[in-house]
């Protein structure tokens, strides 16, 4: 392994002194680590892994296969041992040559192994290739396992992948050449800083390890993020209502009210001027209103979906109508807020209320019959664990949801940033989207149970109706003009599942758009970026495969296409409205107070 020194002229005594100081710092940090770990609140162990019964059934399935089809099992084992022994012999031959040369076949490329030493150094190359052999053997064993229900097979595959990702040699100091080189270059300072980063993350989350993805000191709400001018014109126990200042002399008559997800904060749609949907919409001449949800504490334990509808959706629609003097609004719902907007539209239909003129859904699921990558987290043992956590804390803590979402993309959202922060001692990047991602919110206990049991597990909205507020709410009751945007690589709300829900809605006027990229980047895709394109197809009678196959691909952002759709449903031009009125005085300037609430217990 080659090394380099940041200051080659540094005297040996001074180098020793620096290393001694770093060792002393490690002792001090170790004491802090001990304190935070001994005082950690912890969480229900059912949220970390499936029950022993799943692994028991997997073992039973493996032994059954061994008895009934021993040749297959032997073939798998012999293949593994053959690859391992061949690899070992090749490594011995390389070492016997007495020189550190690259093997003839360094193995498959993997972005985790970009350091040249993974290919050129016999030790690191041996470690890498043996890891890849082990990973392939475990993955193949799970793939070929029979006698398991599809749900169990899905869960076993997921947790096997977690084991494979966790055991990567890049995740351990002794087998990570980047981290070792950095430690030598900095006389151990990188390891000290890494330990400090680790302890800071633990302290910030009551002993739970959630890797910080962005430099929190680089952003300040209202200064360089969430900066679009506006005012809070209404507030209740569930939300603040922000009305944005116009940037055009005239605006569309019908106001637009946006309901963001309450799992995170609203400013995903107002990150900075260059990628702010809010600013872009005001520049197009709309009266834009945004709901900013409260970050619930344990006193909100009994708050349910009915409270979000009554004191969130219906209250916001009512106040926007009063402020603007309009009979109708156009509404947008993002993710879980789109699901709940669909519930609200069904309720309004059954009440004969025509307050909503059109609706737009961003990455919203309403039919949960195919739970996709979330299947491992929607089984009884996991949700039982969540309910026990809720019974203990009153809310589903944000840290639990952050961990769950992160493990769906563990290499990108856990291990890679952890290596950079804890092994390399690097400061997380100043990235606005990742800053938002780490600014989570708790979920009220009752609401979390309703969502997970009634909507996700039992799929009641799409199958028979969801009982709420004295009504049985159904997708067929969603009859307003509808535009739905889904994201091609979304791992949270798969586009085909969003599409299936839209197909069941009763609207005669339905538009469906699939944008490239994922749950966030696909939505936060301003035209100026000229990055991701989108697919369109007016024939929503097709199944999702045929819909995409027959769809037209369009270069560039979907925002202008949606805006053209929205403009047709937004009425004539009128003089621009300033925030508030005589009965809705400005309570404070945007971004408001609720958005600053942190998810603490």
DSSP per-residue letters across 438-499:
TS---EEHHHHHIIIIIIIIS-TTTTT-EEETTEEE-GGG--S-EEEEEETT-SSS-HHHHH
CA dist 430 to 217, 220, 253, 264, 270, Å? 8, 12, 39, 19, 16
Is residue 252 among the annotated active site residues? Answer: no
**Residues 335, 456, 483, 487: which is the catalytic one?**
335
Nearest to 302 by CA among 235, 234, 378, 238: 238
CA dist 539 to 146, 516, 546, 563, Å? 39, 19, 10, 21
Task: Indicate the length of the chain as a whole number.
Answer: 601
Region of residue 286 (left: phi > 0; alpha: psi -120 to 50; beta: else):
beta
As a whole number of angstroms, the distance between CA 319 and CA 313 comes to: 10
As a whole number of angstroms, the distance between CA 78 and CA 484 comes to: 51
Contact criterion met (CB below 8 Å) for 278 and 201 = no
Q: Which two tokens stand for residue 421?
A: 């922060």
Contact criterion met (CB below 8 Å) for 218 and 578 = no
Radius of gyration of the chain measured on its C-alpha atoms: 27
In the beta sheet, which residues pair with residue 450? none
Q: What sign for the dihedral angle of Cα 167, 169, 174, 178?
A: negative
As a whole number of angstroms, the distance between CA 398 and CA 436 comes to: 13
Region of residue 285 (left: phi > 0; alpha: psi -120 to 50; beta: else):
left
Q: Which two tokens stand for residue 430?
A: 């100043």
Cis peptide before 130 (omega within 30 of 0): no
As a whole number of angstroms, the distance between CA 383 and CA 390 comes to: 10
Contact criterion met (CB below 8 Å) for 576 and 251 = yes
Which of the residues are catalytic? 335
């Amino acid at each position: 392994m080659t090394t380099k020194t940041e200051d080659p002229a540094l005297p040996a005594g001074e180098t020793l002194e620096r290393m001694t100081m770093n060792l002393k710092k490690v002792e001090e940090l170790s004491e802090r680590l001990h304190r935070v770990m001994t005082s950690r609140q912890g969480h229900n162990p059912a949220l970390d892994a499936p029950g022993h019964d799943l692994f028991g059934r997997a073992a039973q399935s493996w032994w059954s296969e061994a008895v009934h089809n021993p040749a297959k099992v032997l073939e798998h084992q012999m293949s593994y041992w053959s690859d391992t022994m061949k690899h070992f012999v090749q490594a011995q031959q390389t070492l016997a040559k007495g020189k550190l040369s690259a093997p003839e076949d360094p193995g498959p490329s993997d972005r985790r192994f970009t350091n040249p030493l993974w290919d050129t150094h016999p030790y690191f190359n041996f470690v890498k290739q043996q890891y890849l052999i082990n990973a392939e053997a475990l993955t193949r064993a799970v793939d070929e396992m029979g006698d398991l229900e599809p749900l169990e097979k899905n869960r076993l595959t997921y947790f096997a992948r977690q084991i494979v990702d966790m055991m990567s040699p890049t995740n351990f100091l002794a087998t990570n050449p980047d981290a070792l080189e950095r430690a030598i270059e900095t006389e151990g300072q990188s390891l000290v800083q890494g330990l400090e980063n680790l302890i800071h993350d633990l302290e910030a989350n009551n002993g739970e390890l959630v890797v910080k993805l962005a430099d929190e000191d680089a952003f300040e709400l209202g200064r360089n993020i969430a900066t679009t001018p506006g005012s809070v014109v209404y507030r209740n126990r569930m939300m603040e209502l922000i009305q944005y200042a116009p940037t055009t002399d005239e605006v569309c008559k019908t106001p637009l009210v946006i309901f963001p997800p309450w799992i995170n904060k609203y400013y995903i749609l107002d990150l900075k001027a260059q990628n702010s949907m809010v600013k872009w919409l005001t520049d197009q001449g709309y009266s834009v209103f945004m709901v900013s949800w409260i970050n619930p504490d344990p006193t909100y334990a009994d708050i349910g979906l009915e409270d979000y509808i009554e004191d969130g959706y219906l209250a916001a629609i009512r106040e926007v109508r009063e402020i603007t003097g309009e009979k109708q609004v156009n509404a947008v719902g993002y993710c879980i807020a789109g699901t709940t907007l669909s519930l609200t539209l069904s309720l309004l239909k059954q009440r004969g209320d025509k307050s909503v003129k059109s609706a737009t859904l961003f990455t919203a699921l309403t039919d949960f019959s195919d739970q996709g990558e979330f299947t491992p987290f929607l089984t009884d043992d996991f949700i039982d664990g969540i309910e026990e956590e809720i019974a203990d804390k009153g809310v589903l803590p944000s840290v639990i949801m952050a961990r769950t979402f992160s493990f769906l993309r563990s290499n990108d959202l856990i291990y890679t940033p952890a290596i950079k922060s804890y092994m390399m001692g690097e400061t997380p990047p100043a990235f606005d989207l990742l800053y938002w991602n780490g600014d989570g919110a708790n979920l009220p206990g009752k609401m979390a149970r309703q969502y997970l049991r009634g909507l996700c597990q039992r799929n009641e909205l799409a199958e028979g109706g969801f009982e709420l507020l004295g009504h049985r709410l159904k997708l067929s009751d969603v009859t307003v003009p509808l535009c739905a945007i889904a994201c091609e690589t979304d791992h949270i709300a798969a586009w085909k599942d969003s599409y299936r829900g839209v197909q069941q809605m009763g609207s005669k006027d339905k538009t469906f758009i699939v944008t490239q990229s994922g749950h966030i980047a696909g939505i936060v895709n301003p035209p100026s970026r000229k990055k991701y394109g989108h697919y369109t197809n007016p024939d929503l009678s097709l199944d999702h495969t045929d819909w995409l196959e027959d769809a037209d691909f369009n270069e560039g952002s979907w925002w202008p296409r949606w805006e053209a759709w929205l403009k047709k449903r937004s009425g004539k031009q009128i003089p621009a409205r300033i925030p508030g009125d005589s009965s809705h005085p400005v309570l404070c300037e945007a971004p408001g107070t609720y958005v600053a609430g942190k998810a603490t217990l």
